[in-house]
């Protein structure tokens, strides 16, 4: 594993994703930060400088990307969100206020989902098909809500290295999962503040981990899901980090840079196409004894 049959003979799918939290990263955890303009300005940087720098780099490189955006950011930073969409990058759902999922509060899950959907549809004109939960938590209730509202994928779980399909409690197929890991998240290396102080990593340190992850995924023909935040990777020195990573990946043949929704829809197409080989469909896996089981 994985040896995923990506289209046109490509060996690996690369998703460059940006969680464009802006001020919600600081408001979602502590609403009293609304009275702390200095704290909030860390998020404002993402909207003011980070995203424009990232869009410039993506345009220079001719690469597509996915931006997961909370509804609050869509409503309050509308011009830059419109600019992202106009450049043909994907806008995914990332909650409304960037509140962590609380399995004991399904009402909040529903409200955050509906409000975020409403904001994206109002500004972008189309409903998002992808979702990433704020802060890496999920619930079975939310997976079911995503299916009901026409989403085709989620990108919140950390339990695999290749896409897989959720199965709902009644046994029916759920959304596709595009898994990730903290080691592939810039926040682990680049996020520091007075309250959450941690030493910053050098570009070489981050690059060594991301290159190693890419190398192994490429060797086995897999999936590379990178999570960045404009308020972090949008810093001048970190734009250089991303540029260097892209250059490294580009030294390899048969790499498919894609938006998350393109990876998800392609995977679903592959699942409906009879194929030979060990993977019968992305949802079914051949066991060592030759039997087929559902993932």
Longest CA pairwise span in the chain (Å): 62
CB of 124 to Zn ion, least distance (A): 18
CB of 23 to Zn ion, least distance (A): 12
Per-residue HEC secondary structure of 133-202 comes to: CHHHCCCHHHHHHHHHCCCCEECCCCCCCCCEEEECCCCCEEEEECCCCHHHECHHHHCCCCCCCCCCCC
Q: Please identify the residue of the shown chain whose CB is closest to the bound Zn ion.
A: 19
Q: Residue 140, Cα to own-chain centre: how many angstroms?
A: 19
Specify the residue for token string 């998020």. 43
Q: Which residues bind Zn ion (CB under 5 A)?
A: 19, 21, 134
Q: Residue 188, Cα to own-chain centre: how many angstroms?
A: 15
With b meaning 16 or more CB within 10 Å and e meaning fewer, what string describes 24-58? bbbbbeeeebeeeeebbebbbbbbbebbebbbebb
CB of 24 to Zn ion, least distance (A): 7
Whether the CB-CB separation of 13 and 2 falls below 8 Å is answered with no
Nearer to Zn ion among residue 20 and residue 267 (C-beta): 20
Nearer to Zn ion among residue 146 and residue 271 (C-beta): 146
CA 165, CA 161: separation in Å to the nearest integer? 13
CB of 98 to Zn ion, least distance (A): 6
CB of 85 to Zn ion, least distance (A): 18
CA 286, CA 128: separation in Å to the nearest integer? 33
Nearer to Zn ion among residue 73 and residue 258 (C-beta): 73
CB of 19 to Zn ion, least distance (A): 4
Backbone angles phi, psi at 27, to 5 degrees: -80, -35
Nearer to Zn ion among residue 26 and residue 218 (C-beta): 26
Nearer to Zn ion among residue 21 and residue 154 (C-beta): 21
Nearer to Zn ion among residue 21 and residue 112 (C-beta): 21
CB of 134 to Zn ion, least distance (A): 5
Nearer to Zn ion among residue 91 and residue 255 (C-beta): 91
């Amino acid at each position: 594993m994985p040896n995923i049959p990506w289209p046109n003979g490509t060996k690996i799918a690369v998703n460059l994703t940006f969680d464009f939290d802006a001020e919600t990263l600081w408001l979602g955890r502590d609403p009293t930060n609304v009275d702390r303009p200095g704290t909030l300005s860390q998020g404002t940087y993402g909207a003011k400088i980070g995203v424009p720098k990232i869009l410039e780099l993506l345009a220079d490189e001719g690469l597509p990307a996915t931006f997961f955006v909370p509804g609050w950011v869509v409503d309050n930073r509308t011009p830059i969100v419109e600019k992202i969409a106009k450049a043909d990058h994907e806008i995914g759902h990332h909650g409304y206020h960037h509140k962590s999922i609380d399995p004991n509060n399904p009402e909040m899950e529903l409200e955050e989902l509906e409000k975020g959907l409403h904001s994206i549809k109002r500004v972008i004109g189309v409903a998002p098909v992808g979702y990433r939960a704020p802060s890496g938590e999920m619930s079975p209730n939310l997976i079911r809500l995503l299916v009901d509202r026409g989403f085709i994928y989620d990108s919140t779980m950390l339990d695999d290295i290749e896409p897989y399909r959720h199965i709902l409690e009644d046994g029916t197929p759920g959304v596709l999962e595009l898994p990730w890991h903290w080691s592939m998240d810039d926040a682990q290396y680049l996020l520091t503040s007075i309250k959450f102080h941690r030493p910053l990593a050098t570009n070489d340190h981050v690059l060594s981990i991301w290159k190693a992850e890419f190398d192994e995924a490429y060797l086995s023909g897999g999936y590379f899901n990178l999570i960045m935040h404009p308020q972090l990777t949008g810093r001048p020195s970190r734009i250089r980090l991303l540029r260097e990573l892209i250059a490294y990946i580009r030294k390899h043949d048969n790499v498919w840079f894609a938006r998350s929704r393109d990876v998800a829809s392609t995977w679903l197409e592959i699942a409906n196409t009879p194929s030979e080989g060990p993977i019968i469909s992305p949802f079914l896996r051949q066991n060592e004894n030759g039997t087929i089981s559902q993932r």
